[in-house]
């Protein structure tokens, strides 16, 4: 049996996620159904998600729904637990600092440890669809590399710099039960939650009972 092809090309072991971005994102989105976003306090956001073990039509549909939900919320990345699904999957549609667009998905992502000479921190503002209307400065490495699988179960690697590196780290964190506000000082976390309480989300969210 021939190996199933991946959606993206591979270059030096890394996914080429910069080609045909508009067409690939649109195809996912048109097949998907937008779902409301879960917000901080919802239990699914605060525990490690389950590994994906079945690479089937249900997984493909979830990824389509995630792209549709991401577009509705005007986000650049979305983890499955942000729409209430307890599985390790994230999607992204994100520009890097050079203005290059990256579109793709990662199943069962693992963020790779960086050697000391690659850990150049970028102290930029960060926000989250699950903490709507709030932003805070957070230092993260300006390069990131994630290993995982695609929707067919093929091994893939994704790498990014600048803002896209931040996105890869942010979304992987989600799937292990961490929000960006968990990495802030108590004072900054309190301020982010205050911003959220005072703001109004521009997209549908799931209220916490």
Residue of 131, 62, 144 whose CA lies nearest to 96: 144
Q: How far apart are CA 41 and CA 28, in angstroms?
A: 29
Q: How far apart are CA 161 and CA 95, in angstroms?
A: 10
Two tokens, residue 52: 């994906």
Listed in order, strand segments (DSSP E) in the chain are 9-11, 14-16, 37-38, 77-79, 89-95, 101-111, 121-127, 135-141, 143-149, 155-161, 205-206
Q: Say how many Å lie between the first and final Cα of the chain, rounded.
A: 49
Residue of 61, 55, 95 whose CA lies nearest to 77: 95
Q: Among residues 25, 126, 145, 171, which one is catalytic?
A: 171
Q: How far apart are CA 69 and CA 161, in angstroms?
A: 25
**Residue 37: exposed, middle, or buried by beta-carbon count in 10 A (0-12, 13-18, 19+)?**
buried
Does the annotation count 74 as an active-site position? no
Region of residue 143 (left: phi > 0; alpha: psi -120 to 50; beta: else): beta
Q: What positions carry a catalytic annotation?
A: 171
């Amino acid at each position: 049996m021939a190996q199933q092809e991946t959606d993206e090309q591979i270059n030096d072991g890394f996914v080429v996620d910069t080609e045909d971005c508009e067409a690939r994102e649109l195809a996912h989105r048109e097949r998907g159904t937008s779902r409301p976003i879960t917000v901080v306090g919802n239990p699914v956001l605060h525990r490690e998600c389950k590994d994906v073990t079945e690479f089937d039509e249900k997984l493909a549909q979830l990824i389509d729904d995630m792209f549709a939900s991401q577009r509705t919320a005007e986000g650049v990345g979305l983890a499955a637990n942000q729409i209430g699904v307890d599985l390790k999957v994230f999607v992204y549609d994100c520009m890097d600092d050079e203005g290059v667009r990256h579109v793709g998905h990662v199943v069962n992502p693992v963020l790779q440890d960086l050697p000391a000479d690659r850990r150049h921190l970028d102290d930029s503002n960060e926000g989250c669809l699950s903490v709507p209307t709030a932003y805070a400065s957070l230092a993260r490495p300006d390069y990131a590399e994630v290993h995982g699988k695609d929707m067919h179960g093929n091994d893939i690697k994704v790498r990014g710099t600048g803002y896209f590196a931040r996105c890869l780290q942010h979304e992987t964190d989600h799937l292990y039960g961490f929000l960006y506000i968990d990495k802030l000082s108590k004072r900054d976390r309190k301020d982010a939650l205050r911003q959220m309480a005072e703001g109004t989300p521009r997209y549908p969210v799931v209220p916490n009972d």
